[in-house]
Structure 1
Amino acid sequence: MNSKTAIKIMLWILTAVILFHLSIILKIIPYDITWGGRLKNDTEMYVFETVSILINLFLCFILLIKGQYIRAFLSMKVVNITLWIFVIIFGLNTIGNIFAKTNFEKYFTLLTLASAILIWITLRKGKTQR
Structure 2
Amino acid sequence: MWNPSKKTRTIAIKILIALFSLTMIFHVAALLQLIPFQFLWGGRLSSLEEMYVMETVSLLVNGFFLWSSFRYLYYINQGLVPVWIRIVFGFIGIIFLLNTIGNLVAITNLETLLATPVTAFLTGICFSLVPKYEN
Output the TM-score relative to the length of structure 2.
0.83
Aligned partner (choices 84, 101, 119) of residue 112 of structure 1: 119
User: Which residue of structure 2 aligns with residue 97 of structure 1?
Assistant: 103
Further displaced range: 47-56 or 93-102: 93-102
Task: Supply the distance in 2 between the matched residues of 1:113 and 1:126 (Cα, whole angstroms).
Answer: 23
- TM-superposed deviation, 1:92: 1.3
Task: Supply the distance in 2 between the matched residues of 1:78 and 1:125 (Cα, whole angstroms).
Answer: 11
Report the aligned-residue RMSD: 1.9
**Equivalent pairs, count:** 123
Task: Supply the distance in 2 between the matched residues of 1:59 and 1:84 (Cα, whole angstroms).
Answer: 12
Q: Does 1:17 align with 2:23?
A: yes
- TM-superposed deviation, 1:41: 1.6
- Segments of 5+ residues of structure 1 without an aligned counterpart are 70-74
Q: Is the 8 A contact 1:83 1:119 kept in 2?
A: yes
Task: Supply the distance in 2 between the matched residues of 1:99 and 1:122 (Cα, whole angstroms).
Answer: 27
User: Which residue of structure 1 aligns with residue 4 of structure 2?
Assistant: none
User: Which residue of structure 2 aligns with residue 72 of structure 1?
Assistant: none
Q: Is the 8 A contact 1:18 1:56 kept in 2?
A: yes
User: Which residue of structure 1 aligns with residue 133 of structure 2?
Assistant: 126
Task: Supply the distance in 2 between the matched residues of 1:94 and 1:126 (Cα, whole angstroms).
Answer: 27
User: Which residue of structure 1 aligns with residue 92 of structure 2?
Assistant: 86
Matches within 5 A, 1:17-36: 17-36=23-42
- TM-superposed deviation, 1:10: 0.7
Q: Does 1:7 align with 2:13?
A: yes
Q: Is the 8 A contact 1:4 1:67 kept in 2?
A: yes
